[in-house]
Chains A and B, each alone.
Chain A
Amino acid sequence: MLAILAKILKVLNSEQSPGQLAMAVSLATIVGITPLLSLHNLLILLVVLWFRVNLTIFLVFWPLMTILGLAIAPLAEQLGLQILQAPALVPMWESFYNTLIGRWSNFNYSGVIGALLIAIVLSVVLYPTSKYLINQYRDKWLEKFEQYHIVKVLKASKLWQLYQS
C-alpha cells in the first residue's frame, strides 16, 4: 500500500504533464473495467506504450479499475444486452458482426459492450477531472500535503529513496 502511495506521489510531484497522467487514468479505466482478453484492449495497450502515457499511473489504476469492473459486471451485462437487442441498433450490430473486426471484437457479448460503454463514459469524465485535480494538487495542495506527518514519514523512508533514485 505504501509502495503504491509512494509511486503515485512521486509521479504527481514529477514534471510530467497532467495530460499524460490523466490519459493513463482514463485508459486504465477502459482496460480495467472491460474483460481483459478483448481486441480493443490490445489497441489500448499499443496506445499506452506508443504514446507517452504515464505507465506508473496506468499500472496502478488498472487493477483498481478491474475490481470496479467486477463489481459492476451485472449492470454492464444488463446494459450490454439492452444495447445489443435495441431494435434500432440491430442492423448496425448485424453488419458489424459480419466484419472481421466485428467478429473478433467480442462486441456481441453483453458484458464486453456494456462494460466498454460504461468505461468510455467514465474515461471521458475522468480525463478532464483527473487533469483538473492534478493541476489543483500541484498549484494549491502540494505544499500543504508535504506538511502531513505521513508524507514526511514516507519521504524519510528507504522506499521513497528507492523511487527517487
Chain B
Amino acid sequence: MKIIRWWGVITFFVLLLILTLVWYLLAPVIIADSIEDLGSEALGAKVEVDSVDLSLFPVAVSLNHLTAADPEQPMKNLLDTEQIKFSLDAGALLWKKLVIDELILTGVKTATDRATSGALEGGRKTGQAIQNAIEMALPDMEQLDINSVVDNADLITLKRVDEFKQSQAKIKQEWEKALDKKAFAERTDAIKSEYERLSKRAKDNKLNLIKDRKDWKKLKKSIDAERKQIASLSDKIKQDKKTLAEQLKSVKNGPGDDLTAVMDKFGLGSGVEGLVDKYLGPKYTPWVMRAVEFAKQFKSDGSSGEEEVEQAAVQVGKKVYFKDEHTFPELLIKKINLSGSDQGWELDGKGFDLGYLPWLTGKPAKLNIQFGGKGDAKVDLSSDWPSADKMSTELKSVVSSWPIESMQFMETKEGSWVVNSGVLSANVVGELTLEKIDLEASFSIQSPKLSVPDGISDWQKSLATSVNQQAKLDFKLTANGSITEPKIRLDSSIEKLFQKAIGEKVKQKAQKLTGKVKAAIGEKIGDISSLDNFTKDFDGWDSQIADKDALLKNLLGKIKF
C-alpha cells in the first residue's frame, strides 16, 4: 500500500495559498479594526481610520485619514491626519518585531470639527473618562439641613473607631494567648523548682555540682531561651503600641476629614480659598493625572525583560519573555516626521527612537514639535529608559504670544466658559520618573475676553465681569511628590476674583456653616477620649514580662556554670 498521498500535498499547498490570499485581502480591515479598537480604548474616545493600504514588497502600510476624537469634547478631533505612511523592516518582521525606519504623518490638524460624536458608547471598556463639567454653585446656606446631611453621611471617623477597636481586641487576644497565665507561670515555676533542686543537691554535696553539670547547662539553656522569648515579646509590645497609637492618631484626624467631606457636599470642601482648585482644577489637572497614571502603570509592570510573564489570550496562556538576543524592541519607530497646517498655524515635528518596550531601544525617545503662524510654540519631550525600572521623561514647552480666538476656560453645568480673545503665553517644564513627578506649568493670558453661558448666577456673572476687566490672568500649576501620592496645586490670580465675586457675607456664612457642621459631626461621633486609655493593657503586660525577666536574670546570676 502506498503511504504517500500526493493529492494531499497539493491540497495542503493550495490551502496555504488560499489562506495567504485571504489574509492579504483581510489584513487592511484587520489593521484598521485593531487601530480603532486599541486606540479608542487607550484614548477614551473614538479613533477612526478611513482605509488602509498594504503593500508586500516592500512591506509598507498607509493609514488614510486617521482621526482621534477629543475625549473631553466629543464633537472635536484631537488629531486629524491626512495620511500616515510607514514601511516595515522585513528582516525584523521575521523575528516578529515591527521596526519602522520612518513614519510620515502628513496633513496633521488639531481641533477639527466632527460630523458625529467621538464619545465611546458606554464609555471606555476599562476605567472611566474624567468628568470635567462641574457644578459651579454655592449652596443656599440658610436653607441647609445640616443635621440630616451629617446623619446620612458615612463618617470616616466611625469606621476608624471600629477599626481601632477591632485591632485593640485582636492585640489583646494575642497577648492573652502569649502570656497565658498557666503556660507562662508553669514554665517559670518549672525553671524555679529545677534551680532549687539542683541548688539543694549542690548544697548537700559539692561533688553533685560536677555530677549535675549537664542539668545545670540544660537549665541555663532554658533560662536563655525563655529570656530570648521575653525580649521578642518586649519588641512586640513596642510594635503593637505603635500600631495602635498610629490608628488612634488617624481616629483623631477623622472629624477633620469628615468635616471636609461633608463640606465638599456643599461645594466648600476646602473653604472659600479652595474654589480655584475646585473650578479650574478639573480643566487643568487631568493631563497631569494621566501622566502619573502612565508612570504608575510602568512602575507596577516593569521588570528586567527576561523571563517576564504577560497575560495573553485564553488558551494561548501567558507569554513568557526570554532573554532576546535581537535586542531591539517589539515595536520601534526610528524616525517620525510630522507636518500639517490649518488656518493661522503650521506644524512641523520630528520624533526619534520611539519603542515598546522602551528600555530596549537603547536610546532616549525624543519628540520635538514646533508650531508657527500667529505665534510661536515649541514642545520638546525626551524620555530615557536606561532599564526597565528606571525612567526619566523631561518636558519643555514654551508658547509665546499666541493670539487666542477660542479657548475653553472651564466647563460648568451651564456650559463652556470660553476666552474669545487674548494673548496666551505659557511655559511648561517638568520631569517624570517612575518614582516622582516634578512639574511646573505657568500660563498667562493678556487682555482676556471671556464669554459665558446663559443661566449663570449673579456671583458668577460678577466673576466673569472681573475677569474681563483684568489686564492679565495668571495660572500656575505645580505637581510634585511621589507617583503614588502626587501633590497637585493650582495658583491663580483669579483666586482673588473668586473671593471678591462671592463676597464677604458669603464667606462669613460659610465659616458659620463650618462651625455648625463640625458640631453636628462631633455629636454623631460622640466622645472618643476614652480610646486614649489603650496603653493601660500594655502597662500590665509590660510589667508581667519585666517581672519574669528580672526573676530569670536573678537565677542566671546565681548559676556558677
Q: Interface on A for B, CB 8 Å cutoff?
A: 17, 35, 42, 45-46, 48-52, 69-70, 73, 76-77, 80-81, 84-85, 90, 93-94, 97-98, 100, 103-104, 106, 108-112, 114-115
Q: Does B516 contact A (CB under 8 A)?
A: no
B315 touches A98 (CB 8 A): no
Of B2-10, B43-51, B98-106, which binds chain A? B2-10
Q: Is the CB of B316 within 8 A of A35?
A: yes
- Chain A neighbourhood of B315, CB < 8 A: 35, 69-70, 73, 76, 111, 115
- Please indicate the chain B residues that have their CB under 8 angstroms from the CB of A108 in the complex: 319-322
Residue contact B2 to A109, C-beta cutoff 8 Å:
no
B323 touches A109 (CB 8 A): no
Sample of 5 A–B contacts (CB below 8 Å):
A50-B12, A51-B3, A80-B318, A94-B322, A109-B316
Give Cα A110–Cα B314 distance, bound, in whole angstroms.
10
Measured between alpha carbons, how far is A108 from B16 in the docked complex, in Å? Answer: 24
Provide the residues of chain A in CB contact with B5, threshold 8 Å: 49-52
By a CB distance below 8 angstroms, the chain A residues around B307 are 85, 90
Contact yes or no, B318 A77, CB < 8 A: yes
Report A-chain residues with C-beta under 8 Å of the C-beta of B2: 52
* Bound complex: CA A90 to CA B309 (Å): 13
Task: Determine the chain B residues whose CB is within 8 A of the CB of A45 once the complex forms.
Answer: 12, 15
Query: At the interface, yes or no: B326 with Cβ under 8 Å from chain A?
Result: yes
- Verify if B94 is at the interface (C-beta below 8 Å from A): yes
Q: Are A112 and B316 in contact (CB under 8 A)?
A: yes
Q: Which residues of B contact A (CB under 8 A)?
A: 1-5, 8-9, 11-12, 15-16, 94-96, 307, 309, 312, 314-326
Given contacts A46-B12, A49-B9, contact A111 B317 (CB under 8 A): yes
Is A98 a contact of B324 with CB atoms below 8 Å? yes
With A49-B12, A97-B322, A108-B322 as given contacts, are A76 and B317 in contact (CB-CB < 8 Å)? yes
Nearest B residue to A33 by beta-carbon distance? B315
Give B12 Cβ to nearest chain A Cβ, in Å: 5
Give the residues in chain B near A76, CB-CB below 8 Å.
315, 317
Interchain CB contact under 8 A, A109 and B96: no
- Chain A residue nearest to B319 (CB atoms) is A109
Q: What chain A residues lie within 8 Å of B309 (beta carbons)?
A: 81, 110
- The smallest beta-carbon distance between B34 and chain A, in angstroms, is 16
Chain B residue with the shortest CB-CB distance to A78: B317
Nearest-Cβ distance from residue A140 to partner chain B, whole angstroms: 24
A98 to B306, CA, bound (A): 13
Known: A52-B3, A77-B317, A81-B320. A109 touches B312 (CB 8 A): yes
Cβ A50 vs Cβ B325 within 8 A: no
Interface contact A49-B320, CB-CB below 8 Å: no
Given contacts A46-B12, A52-B3, 15 further A-B contacts (CB under 8 A): A48-B8, A50-B12, A52-B2, A69-B315, A76-B317, A77-B318, A97-B324, A98-B326, A100-B95, A103-B96, A108-B321, A109-B319, A110-B309, A111-B312, A114-B317
A115 to B96, CA, bound (A): 22
Measured CB to CB, the closest approach of chain A to B29, in angstroms, equals 18
Q: Which of chain B's residues has its CB closest to A46's CB?
A: B12
Pick the 7 closest A-B CB pairs, nearest first: A111-B317, A49-B8, A110-B317, A77-B317, A97-B322, A94-B322, A84-B320
B321 — which chain A residues lie within 8 A by C-beta? 108
Give A48 to B3 CA distance when docked, in angstroms: 11
Interface centre among B16, B312, B315, B317 (most CB of A within 10 A): B317
Task: Specify which chain A residues have a CB less than 8 angstroms from the CB of B322 in the assembled complex.
Answer: 90, 93-94, 97-98, 108
Q: Return chain A residues, CB-CB under 8 Å to B12.
A: 45-46, 49-50
A77: chain B residues within 8 A (beta carbon): 317-318
* Bound-complex Cα distance A130 to B314 (A): 30
Supposing A49-B5, A50-B4, A85-B307 touch, asked if A110 and B318 sit within 8 A by C-beta, the answer is yes
- One of A42, A46, A70, A111 near B316 (C-beta < 8 A): A111
What's the minimum C-beta distance from B19 to chain A, rounded to whole angstroms? Answer: 10
CA distance A48 to B5 in the complex (A): 9
Of B8, B9, B96, the residue contacting A104 (CB under 8 A) is B96
Please, how many angstroms separate the alpha-carbon atoms of A83 and B316 in the complex?
15
- Check B317–A52 contact: CB distance below 8 A: no
A97 to B321, CA, bound (A): 9
* Bound CA–CA A111/B309 (angstroms): 12
Q: What is the CA–CA distance of A70 and B12 in the complex, to the nearest angstrom? A: 26
With most chain B CB atoms within 10 A of its CB, the pick from A50, A52, A77, A106 is A50
- A120 and B5 CA atoms in complex are apart in Å by 24
A111: B residues at CB distance < 8 A = 312, 314-318
Residue of A nearest to B5 (CB): A52
Docked Cα-Cα span, A44 to B95, in Å, equals 23
Please indicate the chain A residues that have their CB under 8 angstroms from the CB of B9 in the complex.
Answer: 46, 49-50
Please measure, in the bound complex, the distance between the C-alpha atom of A80 and the C-alpha atom of B316, giving whole angstroms: 10
A38 CA to B509 CA in the complex, in Å?
Answer: 72
A49-B12, A93-B322 are known contacts. Are A103 and B4 too (CB-CB below 8 A)? no
Query: Contact at A109–B4, with CB atoms within 8 Å?
Result: no
Query: Contacts of B317 on A, CB cut-off 8 Å?
Result: 73, 76-77, 80-81, 109-112, 114
* A49, A69, A90, A112: residue with the most chain B Cβ atoms closer than 10 Å: A49
- Nearest chain-A residue to B314 (Cβ)? A73
In the bound complex, what is the Cα–Cα distance between A163 and B309 (angstroms)?
50
Cβ contacts under 8 Å, A73 to chain B? 314-315, 317
A106 to B318, CA, bound (A): 11
| Closest chain B residue to A87, Cβ basis | B307
